[in-house]
Amino acid sequence: MGSCRTILLKVGWQEVCQDGRVQLCSLEEAASFSWSSKMAVYEGNFTQTGDLRLAIVISRFNDLIVGKLLEGCQDALRRHGLDVSPESRQVDYYWVPGSFEVPLVAHQLAQSRRYDAIICLGAVIRGQTPHFDYVSAEVAKGIAAAGFRTGVPVIFGILTADTLQQALERAGIKNNKGWEYAMTALEMATLMRQVAPLLQESRNGAGPRPPLPGAAEALQAGASWESAAY
Ligand code: INI
């Protein structure tokens, strides 16, 4: 496994490379990394939403579908205590022509550091375009890159469907995926608020990490991470 030189983020023993790959840090760094001897569980929640700030990037293409996704998304946010009104100080709305344009705006919003999470909404329907595969693949990659490059959760709320009927079913007739995208945003935003201080801790340089049973043997010269006991 080759290692990249340009590291965008370090989270614990993991390094996120510029091209989005995730690799493990060097043995030397790992040995000097400090962890609390007590392991903890971190998870997001749907209750500490009072001071969250969100952006929603919305594609106008297929607006029949996307409008429904937006309604579902707003409904979920409202029911979890967020003010989604146009005058809201909590949620800002950014409209773009099509899904292809979503990642550019999402990336720049994430870079602005104004938001705890960014929700991307769009619909790409296979039956409507021969370039379905290009549009959907680029949008997925672009949205993933926006999150990786900035450390801000960027939610993939681009509905991909084979037919208009299928898209409608997922945009309100059977269920509304917009709801799910909103819930994902809340969970990730509240989780990342807990992850950010860990990152800061690792940037500040942490003290020695207490060894775990079996670590000394596993980390002998020549041992690879894969063979480590944990
Ligand atoms: N944009 C979509 O959001 N969904 C689609 O299904 C779609 N189709 O079918 O082509 C689509 N095309 C427009 C595209 O997103 C860009 O706006 C356009 O290519 C200009 O860059």
- Mutate-to-test residue for ligand 1 from 57, 60, 99, 143, highest number of ligand atoms within 8 A of CB: 99
CA 120, CA 164: separation in Å to the nearest integer?
A: 20
Does residue 46 lie in a domain region?
Answer: no
Classified as helix, coil or strand, 95 is strand
Does residue 102 lie in a domain region?
Answer: yes
Q: What is the pLDDT of residues 62-111, one digit of tens each?
A: 999 999 999 999 999 999 999 999 898 999 999 999 999 999 999 999 99
Does residue 45 lie in a domain region?
Answer: no
How many A from CA of 136 to the centre of ligand 1?
A: 9
Catalytic residue among 131, 137, 216, 229: 131
Calculate mean pLDDT across residues 10-29: 70
Share of residues in the chain with pLDDT > 90 (%): 63
144 and 174 housed in the same domain: yes
99 and 28 housed in the same domain: no
pLDDT of residue 225: 40
20 and 116 housed in the same domain: no
- The token pair at 48 is 């500490």
The answer to whether the CB of 133 falls within 8 A of the CB of 99 is: no
pLDDT at 1 exceeding the cut of 70: no
pLDDT of residue 109: 98
The yes-or-no answer on residue 131 being catalytic is yes
221 and 143 housed in the same domain: no
Calculate mean pLDDT across residues 34-38: 55
CA distances (Å), 175 to each of 22, 60, 180, in order?
Answer: 34, 21, 10
Does residue 118 lie in a domain region?
Answer: yes
Range of the domain at 81: 54-193
93 and 145 housed in the same domain: yes
Does residue 1 lie in a domain region?
Answer: no
165 and 123 housed in the same domain: yes
Calculate mean pLDDT across residues 149-164: 96
72 and 176 housed in the same domain: yes
Closest C-alpha to ligand 1, atom 17: 98
Does residue 121 lie in a domain region?
Answer: yes
137 and 222 housed in the same domain: no
pLDDT of residue 176: 97
141 and 222 housed in the same domain: no
Look over the chain and give the mean of its residue pLDDT values, rounded to a whole number.
Answer: 85
Closest CA to 76 of 91, 96, 61: 91
Question: Per-residue confidence at 169, pLDDT binned at 50, 70, 90?
Answer: very high
Three-state SS sequence of 3-41: CCCCEEEEECCEEEECCCCEEECCHHHHHCCCCCCCCCC
134 and 215 housed in the same domain: no
Scored b (16 or more CB within 10 A) or e, 81-99 reads: ebebeeeeebbbebebeeb
Question: Per-residue confidence at 133, pLDDT binned at 50, 70, 90?
Answer: confident
pLDDT of residue 222: 52
Question: Per-residue confidence at 228, pLDDT binned at 50, 70, 90?
Answer: very low
- Mutate-to-test residue for ligand 1 from 128, 129, 159, highest number of ligand atoms within 8 A of CB: 129
Structural domains in the chain (count): 2
87 and 23 housed in the same domain: no
Calculate mean pLDDT across residues 189-213: 78
In DSSP terms, which residues pair with 125 in a beta bridge?
Answer: 161
Most confident range (mean pLDDT) of 126-140, 180-194, 198-212 is: 180-194
89 and 188 housed in the same domain: yes
CATH assignment at residue 161: 3.40.50.960
